[in-house]
Amino acid sequence: MYDFKQIEPYWQKKWEDEKTFEIVENDKPKYYVLEMFPYPSGKIHMGHVRNYSIGDVVARFMKMNGYNVLHPMGWDSFGLPAENAAIKHGIHPDKWTKENIQEMKEQLKLLGLSYDWDREVATCLPDYYKWTQDLFLKFYEKGLAYKKKSFVNWCPSCETVLANEQVVGGECERCDSAVIKKDLEQWYLKITDYAEVLLQDIDKLDGWPEKVKIMQKNWIGKSTGAEADFEIKGSDKKLKIFTTRPDTMYGVTYMVLAPEHEYVEELVKGTEYEEAVKAFKTKIQHMSEIERTSTDTEKEGVFIGQYCINPLNGKEIPIYIANYVMVDYGTGAIMAVPAHDDRDEEFANKYKLDIVPVIDEDSKMINSEEFNGMDSKEAFEKIVQKLEEAKIGKKTINYRLRDWLISRQRYWGCPIPIVYCDDCGAVPVERENLPVKLPTDVEFTGKGQSPLITSESFMNTTCPKCSKPARREMDTMDTFIDSSWYFLRYIDAKNENEAFNKELAQKWMPVDQYIGGVEHAILHLLYSRFFVKVLKDLGMVDFDEPFKNLLTQGMVLKEGAKMSKSKGNVVSPLEIIEKYGADTARLFVLFAAPPERDLDWAEQGVEGCYRFINRVFRLIEELKDCVNAKDELNNLTKEDKQARFVIHSTIKKVTDDISGKFGFNTAISALMELVNEMYKYKENENRKECILKEGIEAIVTIISPFTPHVGEQLWTMIGKEGSVSEISWPKYDETALVKDEIEVVVQINGKVRGKLNLSANVTREEMQEMALADEKIKELIDGKEIVKVIAVPKKLVNIVVK
Ligand code: ANZ
Ligand code: ZN
């Protein structure tokens, strides 16, 4: 009887007591399989079950294939929910987080995952964030961390900075107040220094899904074009623009500055335009970048009363400010070419501005003086050359990627190890004083700047340089920093002297298989790649990409919709485990869909998996003594051969499907067929015990990565010792795959009318003869005229009759 309630805790305890999945350094080839670590919300959801089940099959399979497998788990445990819980329920983020970790860990353990828990990391613990701070200082020392004033979304009522995603329709998502733009000093990491190499190296990522690579490329957003200076009439100032289309420069009919552009204020000061410009700027403040640049947003702006000179043809053109030009892209100023740019065209139509085409339908230049008649591609180069010669412009490359703003006005994050001194300015905390620990005496009001400012004991310190009283940085780091290097810490989780040991990192990295949600396809993966490239430049590692292969798993849905509290369609993993056991839950998520696709939760499917496990149990129970088979593999009957064919082709198929392809669903269906075959074969009077032995041993080992508790239990049941996770993955017998008889389908006019069992090396002519000689077929075509007979070798014969 299959009693999962007894089996699952038994094996989980045994694995833990015997340290079955502890990683010891040895000479076996390494394999590092990693699932994205969870945020400790307190409860696992089906997405976790799916993610971690996939990773666990890979880990167990590779271990059985002779690899030394590193399969760790930990917690991405800084972040806003802990702070919100503190505000809402008055529970300290530290306590809330640690309790959640404890709970979630127990839940994960119920799933029977083969983690080496000795390597557990939690980003909120001082022994982890000490090294996050150390890395921050390394970036700082290399000039890759810097402070800059910038416009951020600010909610005047919550008195806090908001991320772009927290601004909805110009309002704070929490309190609905109108959001404004505020100029604040913030810390940045200079990821733009690595834009080009981050882009180039995407081509090395052969093991990544194409769609993720495309997303990364678009995010980096490289554009090749030119910068050019336009003189402002009556001013000694020049307006620098960025364009990807220098070939359209004779078609410029107006200029546009971002409303926040540094020249705007000065250009309108004291003029009749000042008022309107101010009003427009106020209006713009409430719009996020996403809204401003959306194609659905009406292009709007105001004339600022000034003119530029087109450096190519000397024409005077008006200057506007408009919502669709962003201050921090390119130069924050554009030359507008309404004839060839949709946004400019919409704007020009609205404000009755000229539209001058400069390229005709055959891509030939028009209205462009000496460039007329030239192909526009050539004109691109020639015009850039002309600008360069006149020293008013040059070819440039522009990236959409911006530097990474890492300051957060939050408590529950890694403190930035910087001190501000009136005399010395910003001074890094000395290494021996790391970690800068989060204080506990903080007030959570949900308002104001970083809560750290409420802790006098934290804020007041002394300057590391001159020892005078100084204040600490009150912001904490973006939690994406914590997750940009955690895969390195697992390798050397207990190292007290450095973030990780270089030799060990060299041995284990890169991660051979990374598995996680596609929602991290851009930022987390890009930041981790950036970190690794910086660490390489710092001499801390010798590789340049962190993740060799990437699998992005699909979502778990219910009746086609994403599971969510608001829809009330959440299926709790704990309930499923309680009702059917973890092995059934695992089997279902692996069987119901290929990993990259979305998976629709269906209770019948779960029940089907549960019944299958029971069926396997009964089979092995009944046949377990066959492992002592004394008979021999000779004088094989047709049925013997068929059974062996199914056994060995299943081993082959499952092996192929798991390795590289993640075809867990097809692997499991092959296993189901094998179980059916064994049920059939055992009823055979002349069954051979040695074949049953082959069959049940194959079933038990193959099933074990998918349903590990069942695997172990059956392994014991058939009298074996030790853990099935430690044996070698079964090899298939090539000779069993060679069939000496094949089944040939006979069709009449395309309809299947019969089947023939023929020798495997039958010729085409023999197939046709046999088909026509078959009694049943003869009857069916009796009296009809045979037009032709077609034979597909080893598959079918089609007889066309009239
Ligand atoms: C003239 C022109 C003519 C343009 C034409 C495009 C088409 P990507 O490819 O995204 O780099 N642009 C430049 N800076 C901008 C800013 N800060 N905010 C909004 N738009 C900006 O796009 C570059 C093009 O977007 C530039 O080339 C510029 O318009 C505009 F037929 O210049 B173009
Ligand atoms: Zn000082």
Residue 225 Cα: closest atom of ligand 1: 27
Q: Residue 361: its pLDDT value, please? A: 92
- Confidence band for 392, pLDDT divided at 50, 70 and 90: very high
Is the CB–ligand 1 distance for residue 337 below 6 Å?
Answer: yes
- Would you say residue 393 has pLDDT above 90? yes
Q: Which two tokens stand for residue 502?
A: 């270089």
DSSP code at position 429:
P
> Which residue has its alpha carbon closest to ligand 1 atom 18?
325
**Which H or E run includes 747?**
strand 741-748
Q: How far is the CA of 426 from the centre of ligand 2 (A)?
A: 9
Q: How far is the CA of 400 from the centre of ligand 1 (A)?
A: 11
**Which H or E run includes 167?**
strand 167-168
Q: What is the topology classification, in CATH, of domain 222-399?
A: Isoleucyl-tRNA Synthetase; domain 2 (3.90.740)
CATH 3.40.50.620 maps onto the chain at 1-123+492-601
CATH of domain 741-801: 3.10.20.590
* Residue 465 dihedral angles phi and psi, to the nearest 5°: -90, -50
Q: What is the pLDDT of residues 300-339, one digit of tens each?
A: 999 999 999 999 999 999 999 999 999 989 999 999 999 9
- Would you say residue 290 has pLDDT above 90? no
Q: Which two tokens stand for residue 171?
A: 């309002």
Mode of pairing for the β-strands spanning 599-601 and 301-309? unpaired
Q: Residue 290 and residue 359: Cα distance in Å, rounded?
A: 31
- Confidence band for 446, pLDDT divided at 50, 70 and 90: low
Q: Are 371 and 363 in contact (CB under 8 A)?
A: no
> Which residue has its alpha carbon closest to ligand 1 atom 12?
334
End-to-end alpha carbon distance in the chain: 59
Q: Residue 183: its pLDDT value, please? A: 81
CATH class of 1-123+492-601: alpha beta
Q: Residue 292: its pLDDT value, please? A: 84
Q: Residue 64 and residue 725: Cα distance in Å, rounded?
A: 6
Nearest residue to 264 (alpha-carbon basis) of 250, 281, 252, 247: 281
Mean pLDDT of the chain: 94
* Residue 417 dihedral angles phi and psi, to the nearest 5°: -80, 65
Q: How far is the CA of 465 from the centre of ligand 2 (A)?
A: 5
Span of 88-97, 157-166, 698-707, 785-794 with lowest mean pLDDT = 157-166
List residues bridging with 226 in a β-sheet.
243, 395
Residue type, 32: Y
Alpha-helical regions (H) of 498-548:
502-508, 523-537
Phi-psi region of 573 (alpha: psi -120 to 50; beta: other; left: phi over 0): alpha
Q: What is the pLDDT of residues 736-784, one digit of tens each?
A: 998 877 889 999 999 999 998 888 888 888 899 889 988 999 998 888 9
Q: Residue 474: its pLDDT value, please? A: 94
565 is in an annotated binding site: yes
- Confidence band for 173, pLDDT divided at 50, 70 and 90: confident
CATH class of 619-737: mainly alpha
* Residue 100 dihedral angles phi and psi, to the nearest 5°: -65, -40
Q: Is 326 helix (H, G, I), strand (E, B) or coil?
A: coil
Residues in the chain: 802
Please give the model's pTM, rounded to 2 decimal places: 0.89
- Best mutation site among 297, 317, 329, 346 for ligand 1, i.e. most ligand atoms within 8 A of its Cβ? 329
- 444 vs 390, residue with greater confidence: 390
Q: Residue 573: its pLDDT value, please? A: 94
Q: What percent of the chain has pLDDT over 90?
A: 80
- Would you say residue 683 has pLDDT above 80? yes
Token pair 């989780």 is found at 493
- Would you say residue 793 has pLDDT above 90? no
Q: Residue 84: its pLDDT value, please? A: 86
- Confidence band for 448, pLDDT divided at 50, 70 and 90: low
CATH 3.10.20.590 maps onto the chain at 741-801
Token pair 């107006």 is found at 254
Q: Residue 167: its pLDDT value, please? A: 74
Beta carbons within 10 angstroms of residue 172's beta carbon: 20
- Would you say residue 17 has pLDDT above 80? yes
Q: What is the pLDDT of residues 506-559, one digit of tens each?
A: 999 999 999 999 889 899 999 999 999 999 999 999 999 999 999 999 999 999
CATH 1.10.730.10 maps onto the chain at 619-737
Phi-psi region of 159 (alpha: psi -120 to 50; beta: other; left: phi over 0): left
Q: What is the pLDDT of residues 208-232, one digit of tens each?
A: 999 999 999 999 999 999 999 999 9
Q: What is the pLDDT of residues 82-128, one digit of tens each?
A: 988 888 888 999 999 999 999 999 999 999 999 999 999 999 999 99
Is the CB–ligand 1 distance for residue 330 below 6 Å?
Answer: yes
Contacts of 396 by beta carbon, 8 Å cutoff, 6+ apart: 224, 225, 226, 227, 242
> Which residue has its alpha carbon closest to ligand 1 atom 27?
243
Residue 329 Cα: closest atom of ligand 1: 17
Is the CB–ligand 1 distance for residue 329 below 6 Å?
Answer: yes
> Which residues crowd ion ligand 2, with CB under 5 Å?
421, 423-424, 463, 465-466
Contacts of 83 by beta carbon, 8 Å cutoff, 6+ apart: 93, 410, 411, 412, 444, 451
- Confidence band for 645, pLDDT divided at 50, 70 and 90: very high
Is the CB–ligand 1 distance for residue 226 below 6 Å?
Answer: no
| Segment 352-356 mean pLDDT | 97
- Confidence band for 286, pLDDT divided at 50, 70 and 90: confident
Q: Residue 164: its pLDDT value, please? A: 67
| Segment 253-260 mean pLDDT | 96
**Secondary structure of 657-703 in HEC code, one letter for each residue:** HHCCCCCHHHHHHHHHHHHHHHHHHHCCCCCCHHHHHHHHHHHHHHH
Contacts of 143 by beta carbon, 8 Å cutoff, 6+ apart: 190
- Best mutation site among 244, 245, 289, 363 for ligand 1, i.e. most ligand atoms within 8 A of its Cβ? 244
- Would you say residue 388 has pLDDT above 70? yes
- 69 vs 739, residue with greater confidence: 69
Q: Residue 131 and residue 486: Cα distance in Å, rounded?
A: 10
The Cα angle at residue 119 between residues 132 and 545, in degrees rounded to 5: 55
Q: Residue 749: its pLDDT value, please? A: 92
* Residue 436 dihedral angles phi and psi, to the nearest 5°: -80, 110
Residue 252 Cα: closest atom of ligand 1: 1
Q: Residue 596 and residue 744: Cα distance in Å, rounded?
A: 36
Q: Residue 602 and residue 587: Cα distance in Å, rounded?
A: 13
Q: Residue 452: its pLDDT value, please? A: 93
